[in-house]
Structure 1
Amino acid sequence: MSAAIMRTLHPITLAEALKVRREKLARLVDFPIALWSGRSSARNFPANTYPFRASSHFLYFAGLPLENAAICLEQGKLTLFMDDASAASALWHGELPTRNAIAQQIGADAAYPLAQLQAMVKDCATVLVQDSASCHWQSQVLNRAIASADGAKGNDLALIHAIATLRMTHDAAAIAELRHAADVSIQAQQAGMAATRTAKTEAEVRAAIEQVMMANNMTTAYTSIVTVHGEVLHNNQYHHELQLGDLLLVDAGTETTSGWAADITRTWAVSGKFSPTQRAIYDIVLLAHDLCIATIKPGVEYQEIHLTAARMIAEGLVDLGILRGNPTDLVEMDAHALFFPHGIGHLLGLDVHDMEDFGDLAGYAPGRQRSDRFGLGYLRLNRPLQTGMLVTIEPGFYQVPAILNDRARREKYGDVVNWDRLAEFSDVRGIRIEDDVLITATGTEVLTAALPTRIEAIEQLISGN
C-alpha cells in the first residue's frame, strides 16, 4: 500500500462506508469470518512480480489494496492482521504507512501482526483467494481445505451467499468510485478514437487508451480489446495494421486504485466513415442496445433483456435479407446466436465480471441454472434487476468462422440463412456497443452515456471535426 494511494482516499468517508458494510454482513451471518487480501506472484524471479491486485471480497470490507494482509469480521467488528514494513524495505519502497495508521483509516477495531492470525481466526468461515500461495496460506491457518464456490459447504457457503447479497447492489461510496472509473474510461476511449486518425496498428490505439488510464493513476480493469478482428470476442492481439475499410472494435475500461471497474465497448470505422453495409449492421446493434436500456427497471428479468436484444437483432437481419422467417421463431430456434452468441452483459463492480469467482451462484437466482441452448448458454446474469445494481448492456454482431463454418450448424440453419446475402457484408467482422447501466428506483442511469453511440457523433470524434 503506497503512501500516494493513502493520500488520495478520504478516511472518514471510507471508514464510515466500511462500517456500514460490516454491519450489514453481521445481520446476514452470525459466525466469524476471515478474508485474505492475497499476495503478488513472481513473474520470472522472486523480486520481479506481476502487478498486485487484492481480492475483491477483501477490498469490499477493508477498502484498501493491502498486500499480504487478512481481516477478521465478527458482529460488525473488524480486526486487521498485517506486518509493518521492515526497516530494510525503506531502501527499495520508501517509508510506508504503519499497521496502526492503516487500521485507523479503515476503521478497524483492532490490529495485530500476522504472527497472531492463526490463533485468532482458526474457527472462521472464508472464501477462496485466487492466487495459489494465498490458498495454501488459508488452508494452513484454518487447518482445513478451502473449496471454491461450487464446492463450498456449511459456513463457507453461507458466507458466499451473504457476500453475494451485499455486493449485488452498490452503496453511495461504491457508486462514486464506479462513476470515476466510467469517466476516465470515457476519456480513454476518446483518446483511442483520436489516435485512430494517424495510427498504423492496433497497438498504437491501445497505447493512447491506456496512457489516459495511467495518467489518472489507474490501471485496466481487464486486458484491453483493440482489434480489427472483432469476430474474436476476447482478442488480445494488437499487431494488425489498420486498413481504411476496417472496423475497429475497442473494449476497454479502467479500474480505480480501490478496485472498482468500468467496461465500455465502441466500434468505429478506421477511415472515419462507415460503409453502407457497416452502417446497416451497426444500426441494428444500436437499436437493440437502446431498446434494452429503455426496457430496464427494477423487477425486470435480465434474461428478458437478453431476449429483447436477440429479437431486435433477428428482426434487423430479416429486414436486411440475411435471415429468413419470423424473428420470434428465429430466436426460439437460436438462429440469432449465429451472429450474437454471447449474453447481453453481466454484473459490474469490484470485478469487471462481478463475483464470477462464485461461478453462477451470484449471477443466477436461487433455483436457476444455465441453459444448454445455443442462444442462452453464455448468459452471465439471470436474475430480476434490483435498484442499485450495475450491469452492462452489450449487444453485438459477429461473423465468427468457427460458428458460421460449423457443418452441423450450417445444416440446421441452412434454410433460414441467406448465405449469398451474408457474403455482401464481409466488411463487418464484429460490432459491439457496450455501456454501464445503473438501475435506479425509477429506471436507469447510464454511467457511460457521455461517450456517443450514434454513428454521426462517432465519425465526428474520429475525424476531429
Structure 2
Amino acid sequence: MQIQSISNTLIDTLRQRRQRLAQLIDFPAILWSGNSCPRNFPANLFPYRASSHFLYFAGLPLPNAAIRLEAGKLELFMDDPAPSSALWHGEMPKREEIAAQIGADAAYPRAKLESQLEGVATIAVQDPATWTQQSQLLNRWVLPQNQPQGIDLELAKAIVELRLTHDEGALAELRKAAAVTVEVHKAGMVATPNAKIEAEVRAAMEKVIIAHNMTTSYNSIVTVHGEVLHNEQYHHSLQPGDLLLADVGAETEMGWAADVTRTWPVNGKFSSTQRDIYDVVLAAHDACIAKIHPGVEYRDIHLLACTVMAEGLVDLGILRGNAEDLVERDVHSLFFPHGIGHLLGLDVHDMEDLGDLAGYEQGRKRSDRFGLSYLRLNRPLRTGMLVTIEPGFYQVPAILNDVKLRSRYQYTVNWERLSQFGDVRGIRIEDDVLVTEEGSEVLTAALPTDASAVEELVNG
C-alpha cells in the first residue's frame, strides 16, 4: 500500500469532522477499516475498499487498521508492514508516517487496541473477518445485517448527522468524481457506433475511470436490456434500433462517488416511439431538479416524478385517467417501480449499510405501497445534501405479465397502445444534484440530457 500525500487543508477538514463528532457523543468510538477478502486462495484478493465510516474520519484507505475517536482526538491502531512484504509490495510507510499524514494524535500497534475497548461504540464493517473480530473483541454481536443497538446506535445516528451534508473537503472530491464521470459517458457514446457488444462500450467507459487512477463506484450497468434494473451482463450484441442504457460512475482514490445514467440509441437516432418515452422521462427529471430546495420533502419530489410520468403516458395514450388519481393507485409503478433516487457521498447509496437510518427521517418507515416501497430517501432536503435524480421507464416482463397486476389495471392501461412501444425496453436519466441555499446545482450538468444533443454525441 502506497500512501498518497494529504494536503494540510484535508488534515484540517478531518480534524473538524472529529471535533463535530465529539459535540454529538460523549463516549469513545472505534472504527475499523476492514480488510481485503480472498477468493479461491489467500493471496488472490478482491480489490480492497475501506469502510466509508473509517474513511470519513481517517481520510486514507488503510487496510487492517482501526481508529479510536474520543473528545475530538484520533488514535491510530495498525501494524507496521512485515519485512518480507517489501519483496512483493515494495517499501511501505511505517505506522508513524501514516499517523502524521492523517493528523493522528497518537499511533499504536494493533495489539494495543484490546486495552482500549471499555465503553466504546462501533459500526459493523461489511467483510466477515472484520465483523467477526469486532464481535469477539467487544464481546457482543456486531453484525452488518443487524440494526445497531445501544451506544452503537447513538454513534450511527451521530455519523448520519455529520455525513448527511457535505463539507468543502467532501465536495471537492465529489466534484472530481462527477467531472470524470461526465467524460466516461461521453466516451461511451462515442464508442457505441463501432461496438459490436455491450462489453466494448463498457471497456471504453471504464478505461476513462482507470486512466484517472479511479475505480468504478459500483458495478457498471451497460446494457441493451435496460428493463433489468441492475443488469451486470455485457455479452449482448448491439443492433440498430436498440437503446443502450449506461449507469456508470467513478469513485475517487479517497472513496467519494458519482452516479450517472444516460440512455442513447445504438444507431445514433431515437425512433419516434423511443423519443416520445425519452421526453416523458426527461420531463420528470427536469421537473424534479427544478423543485429541489432546502426544506422540500424528497418524497414529494418522488411523487412529482410519478405524476409527470403519468401525465406523459396519458398524453401518449398508454394510460387512461387523471395523473394524480393514477399515481394514487400506483398505476405509474408498472413502468417506474423504483424511487426517484438516493443519497450520494462516500457510498453510491450513501450510508445504506445502516439500513434506513440515514435515508429515513426519525419516526418514518418504508411504505408497503407498490409505488413507494423502493423509495430510498424520505427526508426534508438540507443545504449540502447530494442526491441523485433518476426517473425511468421500463417494460419489465415480470411486472407487465403479472396476472394480478394486469387484472387490477386492465382498464387504466391501453395494452394495445403500449404494444406499439415495443422498442423501448428501458430508459433512465440520472444526475447528481447538490442542494444549495438558493436551490440546487447539478454536478453532472456538463453531460447533455436533451435527446438531440445525445444523438449528436453518439454520432460524433
TM-score range, shorter chain: over 0.9
Residue 292 of structure 1 pairs with residue 292 of structure 2: no
Of 161, 165, 172, which aligns to 2:168? Answer: 172
Is this contact kept in 2: 1:122–1:143, CA < 8 A?
Answer: no
Whole-angstrom CA distance in 1 between matches of 2:208 and 2:117: 42
Of 306, 312, 317, which aligns to 1:310? Answer: 306
CA distance change for structure 1 residues 76 and 149 in 2, over 3 Å: closer, same or farther? farther
Shift of 1:197: 1.5
Is this contact kept in 1: 2:131–2:143, CA < 8 A?
Answer: no
Amino acid in the other structure paired with 1:386: R
Whole-angstrom CA distance in 2 between matches of 1:362 and 1:170: 14
Whole-angstrom CA distance in 2 between matches of 1:275 and 1:177: 38
Residue 23 of structure 2 aligns to a residue whose secondary structure is: helix
* Pairs within 5 Å for 1:238-257: 238-257=234-253
Residue 29 of structure 1 pairs with residue 1 of structure 2: no
In the alignment, what sits opposite 2:258? 262
Is this contact kept in 2: 1:149–1:160, CA < 8 A?
Answer: no
Residue 301 of structure 1 pairs with residue 289 of structure 2: no
In the alignment, what sits opposite 2:204? 208
Of 81, 84, 101, which aligns to 2:97? Answer: 101
Of 381, 393, 409, which aligns to 1:397? Answer: 393
Residue 452 of structure 1 pairs with residue 448 of structure 2: yes
In the alignment, what sits opposite 2:402? 406
Residue 236 of structure 1 pairs with residue 265 of structure 2: no
* Pairs within 5 Å for 1:57-456: 57-148=53-144, 150-456=146-452
Shift of 1:150: 4.7
Amino acid in the other structure paired with 1:52: Y
Shift of 1:122: 3.7
Whole-angstrom CA distance in 2 between matches of 1:239 and 1:86: 43
Residue 434 of structure 2 aligns to a residue whose secondary structure is: strand
Residue 123 of structure 1 aligns to a residue whose secondary structure is: coil
Whole-angstrom CA distance in 2 between matches of 1:399 and 1:449: 28
Paired-residue identity, %: 67
Whole-angstrom CA distance in 2 between matches of 1:390 and 1:228: 29
Deviations 1:408-441 (A, max 9, x none): 0000000100000000000000000000000001
Whole-angstrom CA distance in 1 between matches of 2:254 and 2:55: 7
Whole-angstrom CA distance in 2 between matches of 1:332 and 1:77: 51
Amino acid in the other structure paired with 1:172: E
Is this contact kept in 2: 1:14–1:105, CA < 8 A?
Answer: no
**Runs of at least 5 residues in structure 2 that lack an aligned partner in the other structure:** none
Amino acid in the other structure paired with 1:244: P
Shift of 1:15: 1.0
Whole-angstrom CA distance in 1 between matches of 2:188 and 2:352: 29
Whole-angstrom CA distance in 1 between matches of 2:29 and 2:145: 16
Deviations 1:219-258 (A, max 9, x none): 0000000000000000001000000110000000011011
Whole-angstrom CA distance in 1 between matches of 2:413 and 2:272: 21
Q: Cα RMSD between the aligned structures?
A: 0.8
Is this contact kept in 2: 1:117–1:141, CA < 8 A?
Answer: no
Residue 218 of structure 2 aligns to a residue whose secondary structure is: coil
Deviations 1:358-410 (A, max 9, x none): 10111000110100000000000000000000000000000000000000000
Whole-angstrom CA distance in 1 between matches of 2:141 and 2:456: 57
Is this contact kept in 2: 1:123–1:142, CA < 8 A?
Answer: no
Shift of 1:14: 1.8
TM-score w.r.t. length of structure 2: 0.99
Whole-angstrom CA distance in 2 between matches of 1:184 and 1:267: 18
Residue 75 of structure 2 aligns to a residue whose secondary structure is: strand
Deviations 1:263-286 (A, max 9, x none): 000000000000000000000000
Whole-angstrom CA distance in 2 between matches of 1:51 and 1:152: 27
Amino acid in the other structure paired with 1:265: T
Shift of 1:140: 2.1
Residue 332 of structure 2 aligns to a residue whose secondary structure is: helix
Residue 53 of structure 1 pairs with residue 66 of structure 2: no
In the alignment, what sits opposite 1:2? 2
Residue 30 of structure 2 aligns to a residue whose secondary structure is: strand
- Runs of 4 or more consecutive aligned structure 1 residues displaced over 6 Å after TM superposition: none
Whole-angstrom CA distance in 2 between matches of 1:140 and 1:154: 17
Amino acid in the other structure paired with 2:413: V
Whole-angstrom CA distance in 1 between matches of 2:139 and 2:291: 49
Whole-angstrom CA distance in 2 between matches of 1:441 and 1:261: 22
Deviations 1:144-194 (A, max 9, x none): 221447532211110010011100000000000000000111111111111
Is this contact kept in 2: 1:72–1:121, CA < 8 A?
Answer: no
Whole-angstrom CA distance in 2 between matches of 1:187 and 1:283: 23
Is this contact kept in 1: 2:147–2:354, CA < 8 A?
Answer: no
Residue 411 of structure 1 aligns to a residue whose secondary structure is: helix
Residue 38 of structure 1 pairs with residue 29 of structure 2: no
Shift of 1:312: 0.3
Shift of 1:45: 0.4
Whole-angstrom CA distance in 2 between matches of 1:84 and 1:14: 24
Is this contact kept in 1: 2:131–2:144, CA < 8 A?
Answer: no
Whole-angstrom CA distance in 1 between matches of 2:145 and 2:32: 16
Residue 28 of structure 1 aligns to a residue whose secondary structure is: coil
Whole-angstrom CA distance in 2 between matches of 1:373 and 1:206: 35
Whole-angstrom CA distance in 1 between matches of 2:265 and 2:145: 42
Whole-angstrom CA distance in 1 between matches of 2:333 and 2:297: 20
Amino acid in the other structure paired with 2:457: L
Residue 76 of structure 2 aligns to a residue whose secondary structure is: strand
Amino acid in the other structure paired with 1:317: L
